[in-house]
Chain A
């Protein structure tokens, strides 16, 4: 077996050194009746060629985003990833190293995390950011728990514009601890009055912008209301590229900012692994979950980086830790950092502008399709459109015509009477020909 270096001769020598007769002597503590005699009913080992053939076979059954005009978003976005990003994250020293517990021989990972934290803090206009969470949805649930610890209150208010999966993750966590969650009705047009929902019992309000329907939300008035009532404002984003063009949540008064970082540096990958971004105001630092990397010096006075404030974490505080998180999204955070470094301020702004311009173009084209309506007043790179009939059916028929045309809202929010809505995202990867094809196919589909 190509991955196992020991030979039969090695094994015999080693058993002799140990002083046992057979390998099974080393498994003697397993209760006799429970030791497996035979091999399990699974195939035997295979060579690379055969494994590759099997997996290529499965891969070929899927329609890839790059092979068709592609308009899906709703929390995961197709962006172009520079070739150097994937090359660099496959460097052995990044790919096959562990969490940097021995900082003297892990400065590469540590400095990259320190730079990542700085990038995330800058992007969100917040004081501090951590080394990453699993993804945007779990980061949101962690933010709610953090708000409960800070405020001593146990009621979270979730905007109707929050990604339904994110809301469900928060509700699942809260159900386990008996915490209250107030979920507002799906808010397609961004007209809900969140301010009215904030009371003295509110621990936090969770609001997303651009929201799941694509609308942008000025959360400054809500931030003021939260401050007045002693509640925290948690701002969420699922499209990190938007921050190149839209006002960052930190400038609008958010206390905690969480987001999905997949858009920068990470492929769609059928939903994971992604990278959760987590930032907060300085005064809440010690209630933050996850790893933090800090700057210090070594014994020679040279600048160096190290995981710090780890007394918050599970391996020290155990049942009193701020979170149970251990392994996070190191390599995805690195991909984010590298892509962001390549973009820089100039590149990110331009990337965001292209996304927005393409979306404006598609919105204008869609207005010409009879029976189709764009519902957004404001948007970044995602729209909610109303189609005649069942949206899931329209999307299926578009797929049959070679266009992956968006996410039916009913996929995320079934049984809510939103069955005629489609979420449509437009990134820099969508060419003008793709937009034309989408509109043309959509016209055909809604006509018949």
Chain B
């Protein structure tokens, strides 16, 4: 079963079992514009919720991507190194950043589900 949760910083985590794929939302990529570089963590790195997990860069800005929940990095999306535009083209799919093995699944309860996130985004404009 797949669960998707969102943060107020426009990160998502797509959880299946005890691991989840982390990326930024389509709304975030549209705000940032053309993504030119994504700095990813080393596999094996242990992250606490809120730690800097990655840095995403457009031509004129560098934004930190925080770990939405605590966990260990088990994989990163190497495709972004050569093709950072994947984040623009398919933020929720091919443009994922990293995979976390969650250390505390109850942290997910503090995040927004899809409907809540959509309402949150709508409130921003």
Contact = CB atoms under 8 A, between A and B. Distances in A.
A–B direct touch, CB within 8 Å, in complex?
Answer: yes
Interface of A: 286, 310-311, 316-317, 320
A128 B86 CA distance: 27
B30 interface: no
B115 interface: no
A88 B36 CA distance: 36
Contacts of B60: 310-311, 316
Nearest to B61: A316
A316 to B, nearest CB: 6
17 contacts: A286-B37, A286-B39, A310-B59, A310-B60, A311-B36, A311-B37, A311-B57, A311-B58, A311-B59, A311-B60, A311-B61, A311-B62, A316-B60, A316-B61, A316-B62, A317-B62, A320-B62
Interface in B19-71: 36-37, 39, 57-62
A186 to B, nearest CB: 41
Nearest to A320: B62
A225 B61 CA distance: 39
A323 to B, nearest CB: 15
- Output the residue of A311, A317, A320 with the most chain B CB within 10 A: A311
A168 B62 CA distance: 34
B79 to A, nearest CB: 18
A75 to B, nearest CB: 36
Contacts, number: 17
Ranked 5 nearest A-B pairs via Cβ? A311-B62, A311-B57, A317-B62, A316-B62, A316-B61
Contacts of A320: 62
A306 to B, nearest CB: 9
A335 B20 CA distance: 55
Contacts of A316: 60-62
A84 B39 CA distance: 45
A311 B37 CA distance: 10
A241 B37 CA distance: 37
Contacts of B62: 311, 316-317, 320
Nearest to B62: A311
Contacts of B57: 311
Contacts of A310: 59-60
A316 B36 CA distance: 14
B35 to A, nearest CB: 11
A441 B60 CA distance: 61
A272 B57 CA distance: 36
Given A286-B39, A311-B57, A317-B62, 11 more contacts: A286-B37, A310-B59, A310-B60, A311-B36, A311-B37, A311-B58, A311-B59, A311-B62, A316-B60, A316-B61, A316-B62
Contacts of A286: 37, 39
Nearest to B58: A311
A320 B55 CA distance: 11
B82 to A, nearest CB: 14
B34 to A, nearest CB: 12
B84 to A, nearest CB: 12
A408 to B, nearest CB: 49
Contacts of A311: 36-37, 57-62
Contacts of B58: 311
A311 B60 CA distance: 7
A320 B63 CA distance: 11
B59 to A, nearest CB: 8
Interface in B74-97: none
A267 B59 CA distance: 37
Contacts of A317: 62
A443 to B, nearest CB: 64
A286 B57 CA distance: 12
B25 to A, nearest CB: 21
A61 to B, nearest CB: 50
A99 to B, nearest CB: 15
